[in-house]
Structure 1
Amino acid sequence: MALTGSAVRAIGLGRVAPVSRRLTPPERYAFGASLGSIQARHSDPCVRVSASELWMAARTPDGPGTFHLELSAGELVATAYGPGEDWLLERADAIAGLRDDVSGFPALAKAHPLVHRLARTFSGLRMPATGLVFPRILRAILEQKVTGVEAGRAYRKICRKFGEPAPGPADLLLPPDPAAIAATPYWAFHPFGVEQRRTQTLLRAAREADRIERCADSAEATRRLTALPGIGPWTAAEVVRVAYGDPDAVSVGDYHIPNTVAWGLAGEPRATDERMLELLEPFGGHRGRVCDLLAHGGIGAPRFGPRMPIRSFARF
């Protein structure tokens, strides 16, 4: 196992202990805010994130594993369990967001006073790159055109149906195996609250999961994803921003983000995707980072009209 930083495998009483790795975070590192995107909202059976601790179950190329990251005394300690432990520890710095290159962003941020202020306020934010594509595809497809509550409910049910106990002490479930998803008929997802359109998109993605997981970078993954019927730029951006740590990925087609960007950068309460991209143009290479900063800064456009209703397709 080729690791940067320090890695140890303690041996005692004839038993091999979990392998660990120690990392040095950047100044003012915001642990929970940086890693929160790895966890699905409204309870995640596969991931737990707090202000100083991450537990994540994963299906790695080497087999199942559980990854633990803890911020303690100014140091990050990564520990892993199961056959996938070496793969997870090799990526520990990426999962923590320590490979996120922010060196050129402060100069770009000066293009707008609000972005400049937010960049300084949240200078400890980093974007994780888990290297785990299909779990994020699953979440993103379930989040298409529905409320977060609906998507979270479906995600939990699917994980509990197709997940398996993860190695280690955290009582997590492994994310669903794409092969198991691909082998399931579309109508079996109806009781989980997922209608035929999203289910068929999910089945296509599950069948292509091996090819997508092998993509070398965010650009290649985006091309492969958007070539699948039912997956557009919004879904692809949601995936590559977390799986590859792409700081330029913008969720075009989002219900709220264009308005947030327009309100924060131009004082306009409503905007199209085209207007959003126009306002983000000065921040090329970091457009997704700007959207994240606006969200962390609590920037939101004025709301008009009713909220989207929460439905249950399982009852239809």
Structure 2
Amino acid sequence: MTDSEISIRQATKEDFQGIIDITKGEYLWMGLDYIPFALKNWLEEGESEDGKRHNIVFILNEEIVGFESFYFLNNGETAIRFGFRVKTDLRGKGYGRTMIKLQLDYLREHFPKTMHTISSIPDIAMPDSAFTPEKFGERLVKGVVKLIRLDLKTYKMPEFEMKQLTQLNKEQFFTIIQDGRLQQLTPNNCFHQTWVSSVPYVDDDIQFIVRKQCTVFVDDFEKPGSFSILSHPIPVPFGRRCGIDVWAAAKQDVVDHINNQLRNLFVNLVPALCAGCDNLSIQITVPPEQLSWMDESLELFGLKESIYHFETPMNRENLHMYVYRDKLYK
């Protein structure tokens, strides 16, 4: 296969069904694929005037066989890469590597101001030795992900006392990012919300973070020593998917944040956003050294028996998320 066999172009709203068909009939990411939910908005944003979102499709024999979305930060100097999809029957044949090369060439040609890319990468199919600076660039974050899968018809949240944290509205969240109050908590100033990672360089970048439908808790608004983000449930093939990302240094802070976010999820969000849905997936992301700390919360909520154990080619007990910033010109 040569690069000339695949072409690349900007995606349009008319490509919606072709992109959806890339993984048609496939239970991608254990039923957690968010593309069908997000794609319509992405395509509309890509045709808007602000120029921050750009989507591309890969064409082979006049058929859409791949997709990628970019979102530009730092006045266009950094591109977040996400939503990469390759048609099922083309995987393992070198097409994915070709598409990655083509999309980077496409960025260099059409967005010469862009100097860096940011990507969130799972280790589901790669050994630890694959995650090197030469391959991916500068590592910003490594997190470990625990997945809970629930039957909402049978689950009942237990009642117990917990420490109350402070919930922020969007304006307050914007403010404490803008004035740097969270920088000591976020390695390399990297924020991640259920695998969507970004680094806010300018105010417009902060808006990308706070515009998402989420709940934010801090232990102290004036001098935060910990915070967490709950990304609200969205429809996926499995049912509904949400995520909790925690930034804290002490075990009790991690427990308090997970407790507050889970209670908010079950008391407020599940009734509002999961009506008529039986299945809920909760992804909780913390630094690897804090993995065992979340067990206390899961025990309190009766969720330990609902932990999903990934079956991966690497036979890992837990899935990890790596966030990298790479130079586009090397």
> TM-score when scaled to structure 2?
0.29
- Report which structure shows greater RCO (CA 8 Å, sep ≥6): 2
Bigger helix share: 1
- TM-score, L = length of structure 1: 0.29
